[in-house]
């Protein structure tokens, strides 16, 4: 038995000064400790300090940039070079100038990613709807804060939010911005953290203000009356789906479908697309249309080009004569991202913890946070008023005898004794005495003092009013409502994304593509593939192959069926029958490695019709293991043509079989031994690369040779080779059960 290693030995080696050489001994550390000590802090930092927005609607990078611009005086002043702003922001954000400038671009009016942009930009800031339109360098562009930023920083110096140290503890920055409107619902935001993500869509500012006001008045209000649907900066038409919208509003998750807007120019026989979904780009649309034209699926289009200029986005489609523009657009909506889904995942940091919330929950959190912010502001002002009243009460005492105050100051020998003597002489505290002592000589007259003292009554009324606000939540809500009303009046704009309700959506029948009809498939051992119609097969069914080649598989299916080709490189290629031309038995057919763009030296070994992706596949390996993989493991939501890691490559693959219903199979080894087992003994796996389980145990230098069904085998006595549990060695093949014996007997007949 091996001696158990003492973990202290490694440490002793590291600390032993007599150990020679440059490399110290490695101390083993459990992977769980590594994750907890090293990875978890990083993951939490990304979640809390980088990728997920907070209740003010900003990520830390946004907040640092905007606060720097505010401190630079860019709210009321003129623009300055973007490079200057980027440099100043690095006092708060240490991630580098490129990352900071990218953040500024996204917040800018020129880029157009936000319904209410916060950066008033000048110069080339690119466009959100273009993937390739690069923005100019920061030394060329200029920027300042947009007017709406006044609502982000309202009373920020009145203790409305907490301030924290920056990354090197040299200055302070706000933990949140005291936004006077729910920016978290107005500004679209997306971020990918570790193990989670966030994707919020924007809503119209006026609708958000109305909804928040309605919620403050009645938390059980109907949100759908005021918050109609999301609104996107790039416009488009939102396809109203009440069920999908309810899911987003209630759970914070779901999808919103948006399609492009277009107009038909009859005299030029062309279509102009002038608004596209927020989630796509002009380049992605053009690339997809070009792909469809190249594949022969878009014969109605003669040309498509990007004519975007200073007046705005415009994609132009030239039509062939006689083409119905509405039918063509309906076809493009289905085949391209001209109609796309915007995914929603309202994951927001609340008190440092990420939460996925619906609209009502977000409003509840925002109003609670804003209420606290307003109360802090009122309390701050109240404190200032109380301090001033306290000073005026001390000043009022001077009215009793101004001459006495002058005499006390004049007759005091030492300066340090002035304040104590005033305190004793008039019965006031130190703060009041300091205030009196600092009054200019010219102001020590009854008129000045009476004016100051007369403020006392008005000041006391203000203090009482402020205290009443703090004592009555309804009054705090009234202040928030008034601020929201003012924000709507100043900054609200009409919806950019129009809403298409169900009764307004015109259903247009579109040609679904290639005709579907029965076909027969022939796959040769060297990878030649033929698709033949029944009519052509009846005329001639004698298949032609290259010398040395032979049939591997044949089956019947339909022209639009999907097919998968497995190769000897553990890859699978997915396509449809209609991608192959109908052919005849007298030709070789399509060479699959060339047709499917396979890697050099890669060969097809098996084809499968996935159908509805029910059932599974059995992979038989030379080492006697069998992997059972669910067909759903090969189902993809996107139109991917190639999947790597189609099966395990730890042992050479002998064969694979489609399994729709469990049954018995016979496995033959090179010894030769045979084993009959039931496929129900194998548990299906969802992982394509599973190595499988040992079914047939093999002796050294022996491998699995082939696998057949019971109908295909030559065995006469099945019970000799049948097993009830796996793994098993099987039994030596008797002469009467061997395939060679059956062939000999057949020849004797």
402: number of CA atoms within 13 Å, CB side? Answer: 12
Higher pLDDT, 680 or 41: 680
**Within 10 Å of residue 368's Cβ, how many Cβ atoms?**
12
pLDDT band, very low/low/confident/very high, at 7 (cuts 50, 70, 90): very low
pLDDT, tens only, 208-252: 999 999 999 999 999 999 999 999 999 999 999 999 999 999 999
Report the run of H or E that residue 102 belongs to, with start and end.
Answer: helix 97-107
What are the structure tokens assigned to 136, written together?
A: 């100019």
User: pLDDT tens across 107-159, in order?
Assistant: 999 999 999 999 999 999 999 999 999 999 999 999 999 999 999 999 999 99
Q: Quick one: average pLDDT of 498-505?
A: 85
E strand map for 284-369: 301-306, 315-319, 339-345, 347-350, 353-356
Cα(374)–Cα(178) distance, rounded to whole angstroms?
9
pLDDT higher than threshold 90 for residue 496: yes
Residue 395: predicted pLDDT: 80
Which residues make Cβ contacts (< 8 Å) with residue 102, sequence separation at least 6? none
Higher pLDDT, 688 or 40: 688
C-alpha distances in angstroms, 630 versus 188, 348, 532, 580, 684?
Answer: 39, 37, 30, 27, 6
The domains of the chain, with CATH numbers, are 7-43 (no CATH), 52-179 (3.90.199.10), 261-337 (3.30.1360.40), 372-491 (1.10.268.10), 514-611 (no CATH), 615-630+650-749 (2.120.10.90)
The percentage of residues in the chain with a pLDDT greater than 90, rounded to a whole number, is 60
Beta strand 498-500 pairing with 237-239 = parallel
Q: How confident is the model at residue 399 (pLDDT cuts 50, 70, 90)?
A: confident
The CA-based angle 161-164-166, given to 5 degrees, is 135
Does the structure show a pLDDT above 60 at 596? yes
Instruction: Look at the block and give the residue holding tokens 């047709």.
Output: 595
Residue 500 β-bridge partners: 239
The pLDDT of residue 74 = 96
pLDDT > 60? residue 569: yes
pTM for the whole thing? 0.67
User: Residue 743 in contact with residue 697, Cβ under 8 Å?
Assistant: no
pLDDT digits (tens, 9 = 90+) for 437-474: 888 877 777 777 778 778 888 899 999 999 999 999 99
pLDDT confidence of residue 51 = 85
Residue 10: per-residue pLDDT: 43
Residue 183 pLDDT more than 90? yes
Q: What average pLDDT does the segment 712-716 reach?
A: 87
Give long-range contacts, CB 8 A cutoff, 24+ apart: 298-303.
298/331, 298/332, 298/335, 300/328, 300/331, 301/328
Q: What is the mean pLDDT of the chain?
A: 88
3-state secondary structure 258-276: EECEEEEEHHHCEEEEEEC
> What is the rounded average pLDDT of the residues 472-478?
94
Q: Give residue 586's pLDDT band: very low, low, confident or very high (50, 70, 90).
A: confident
Average pLDDT over residues 52-62: 94
Task: Assign 364 a pLDDT band (cuts: 50, 70, 90).
Answer: very high
Contact between 270 and 328 (Cβ < 8 Å): no
Arithmetic mean of pLDDT, 680-685: 91
Which of helix, strand or coil describes residue 474?
Answer: helix
Give the mean model confidence (pLDDT) for residues 425-446.
Answer: 83
pLDDT at 228: 95
Q: Is 8 a residue whose pLDDT tops 60?
A: no
Does residue 670 carry a pLDDT above 80?
yes
pLDDT at residue 21, as a whole number: 47
Is the pLDDT at 13 greater than 80? The verdict is no
Whole-angstrom distance, CA of residue 16 vs CA of residue 421? 74
At 492 the pLDDT is 95
Return d(Cα 74, Cα 146) in angstroms, integer: 9
Active site amino acids? 140
Q: Lowest-confidence range among 209-213, 305-309, 538-542?
A: 538-542
**271 Rama class: left (phi>0) / alpha (psi -120 to 50) / beta:** beta
Q: Any idea how long the chain is?
A: 749
CA distances 456 to 393, 430, 447, 627, Å, are 8, 20, 15, 89
Parallel/antiparallel/unpaired status of strands 642-644 and 571-576: antiparallel
Given this model, what pLDDT does residue 639 score? 61
Position 433 pLDDT exceeds 60: yes
Question: Is residue 276 predicted with pLDDT exceeding 90?
Answer: yes
Judge whether residue 72 has pLDDT over 50. Answer: yes
> Is pLDDT above 60 for 748?
no
**Lowest mean pLDDT: which of 24-28, 47-51, 327-331, 439-443?**
24-28
Place of tokens 């029944």: 534
How far is residue 454's CA from residue 302's CA, in Å, rounded to a whole number?
Answer: 84
């Amino acid at each position: 038995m091996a001696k158990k290693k003492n973990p202290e030995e490694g440490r002793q080696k590291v600390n032993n000064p007599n150990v020679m050489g440059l490399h110290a001994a490695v101390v083993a550390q459990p992977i769980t400790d590594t994750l907890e000590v090293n990875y978890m802090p990083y993951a939490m930092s990304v979640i809390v300090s980088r990728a997920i927005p907070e209740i003010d609607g900003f990520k830390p990078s946004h907040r640092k940039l905007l606060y720097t611009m505010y401190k630079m005086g860019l709210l009321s002043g003129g623009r300055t070079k973007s490079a200057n702003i980027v440099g100043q922001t690095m006092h708060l954000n240490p991630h580098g100038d490129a990352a900071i400038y990218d953040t500024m671009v996204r917040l800018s009016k020129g880029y157009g990613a936000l319904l209410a942009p916060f950066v008033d930009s000048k110069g080339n800031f690119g466009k959100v709807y273009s993937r390739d339109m690069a923005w100019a360098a920061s030394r060329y562009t200029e920027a300042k804060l947009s007017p709406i930023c006044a609502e982000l920083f309202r009373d920020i110096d009145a203790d409305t939010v907490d301030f924290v140290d920056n990354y090197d503890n040299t200055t302070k920055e706000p933990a949140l911005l005291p936004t006077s409107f729910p920016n978290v619902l107005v500004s679209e935001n997306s971020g990918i953290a570790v193990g989670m993500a966030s994707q919020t869509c924007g809503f119209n500012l006026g609708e958000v203000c109305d909804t928040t006001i309605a919620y403050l008045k009645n938390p059980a209000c109907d949100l759908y009356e005021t918050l109609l649907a999301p609104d996107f900066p790039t416009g488009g038409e939102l396809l109203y789906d009440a069920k999908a919208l309810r899911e987003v509003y209630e759970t914070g998750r779901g999808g919103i479908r948006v399609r492009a807007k277009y107009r038909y120019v009859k005299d030029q026989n062309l279509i102009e697309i002038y608004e596209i979904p927020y989630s796509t780009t002009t380049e992605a649309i053009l690339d997809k249309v070009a792909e469809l034209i190249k594949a022969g699926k878009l014969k109605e289009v003669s040309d498509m080009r990007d004519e975007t200029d200073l007046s705005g986005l415009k994609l132009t489609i030239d039509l062939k004569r006689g083409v119905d523009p509405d039918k063509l657009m309906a076809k493009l909506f289905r085949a391209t991202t001209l109609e796309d889904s915007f995914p929603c995942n309202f994951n927001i940091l609340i008190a440092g913890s990420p939460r996925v919330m619906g609209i009502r929950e977000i409003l509840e959190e925002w109003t609670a946070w804003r209420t606290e912010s307003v109360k802090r502001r009122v309390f701050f002002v109240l404190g200032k008023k109380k301090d001033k009243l306290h000073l005026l009460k001390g000043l009022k005492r001077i009215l009793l005898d101004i001459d006495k105050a002058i005499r006390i100051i004049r007759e005091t020998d030492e300066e340090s004794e002035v304040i104590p003597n005033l305190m004793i002489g008039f019965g006031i505290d130190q703060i009041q005495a300091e205030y009196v002592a600092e009054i200019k000589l010219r102001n020590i007259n009854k008129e000045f003092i009476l004016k100051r003292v007369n403020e006392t009554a008005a000041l006391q009324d203000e203090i009482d009013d402020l205290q009443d606000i703090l004592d009555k939540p309804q009054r705090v809500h009234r202040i928030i409502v008034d601020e929201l009303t003012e924000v709507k009046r100043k900054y609200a704009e009409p919806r950019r994304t129009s809403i298409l309700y169900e009764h307004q959506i015109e259903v247009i029948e579109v040609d679904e593509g290639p005709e579907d009809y029965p076909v027969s498939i022939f796959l040769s051992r060297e990878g030649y593939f033929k698709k033949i119609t029944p009519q052509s097969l009846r005329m001639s069914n004698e298949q032609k192959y290259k010398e040395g080649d032979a049939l591997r598989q044949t089956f019947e299916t339909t022209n639009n069926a999907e097919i998968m080709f497995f190769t000897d490189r553990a890859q699978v290629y997915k396509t449809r029958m209609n991608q192959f031309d109908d052919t005849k038995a007298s030709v070789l057919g399509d060479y699959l490695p060339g047709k499917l763009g396979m890697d050099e030296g890669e060969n097809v070994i098996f084809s499968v019709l996935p159908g509805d992706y029910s059932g599974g596949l059995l992979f038989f390996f030379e080492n006697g293991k069998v992997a059972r993989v669910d067909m759903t493991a090969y189902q993809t939501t996107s139109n991917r043509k190639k999947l790597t890691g189609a099966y395990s490559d730890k042992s050479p693959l002998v064969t694979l079989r489609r399994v729709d219903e469990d049954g018995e199979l016979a496995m033959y080894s090179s010894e030769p031994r045979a084993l009959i087992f039931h496929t129900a003994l194998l548990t299906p796996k969802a992982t394509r690369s599973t190595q499988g389980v040992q079914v047939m145990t093999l002796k050294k230098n022996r491998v699995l040779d082939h696998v057949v069904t019971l109908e295909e085998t030559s065995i006469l006595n099945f019970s000799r080779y049948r097993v009830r549990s796996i793994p098993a060695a099987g039994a030596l093949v008797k002469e009467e059960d061997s395939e060679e014996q059956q062939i000999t007997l057949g020849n004797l007949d």
